Amino acid sequence: MGIAAVKIKIMPSSPTVNTKKIGENAKELIETMGGKNCTISEEPIAFGLNAIITFFAWPEEKELEKLEEKLKKIKDVNSVQVIDLRRAFG
């Protein structure tokens, strides 16, 4: 199996939550579940709300749905969406 490049958008529950903390928690979770080279950035949406964008390498043989479910359980996260998934190596 190969390696997939994955980009996930995490939406916080409000513009006032600590997006840095959500990003740190997401990165830690991704890396403990097998993701590599995780980068976190923020993307302005509207009215002061910023989405957290994660980009990382993921082993194709692992289920991405389990990671999504765990990301949704992070405090102050409203939604999680895979916005890009493509084969990187293999």
Cβ proximity of 55 and 9 under 8 Å = no
pLDDT of residue 90: 59
pLDDT digits (tens, 9 = 90+) for 64-85: 999 999 999 999 999 999 999 9
What is the reported pTM?
0.92
User: Which region, left, alpha or beta, applies to residue 34 given φ > 0 means left and ψ of -120 to 50 means alpha?
Assistant: left
- Residue 41 phi, psi (nearest 5): -140, 170
pLDDT of residue 84: 95
pLDDT of residue 8: 97
pLDDT of residue 1: 72
Low-confidence ranges of the chain (pLDDT < 50): none
Burial class (CB in 10 A: 0-12, 13-18, 19+), 52: buried
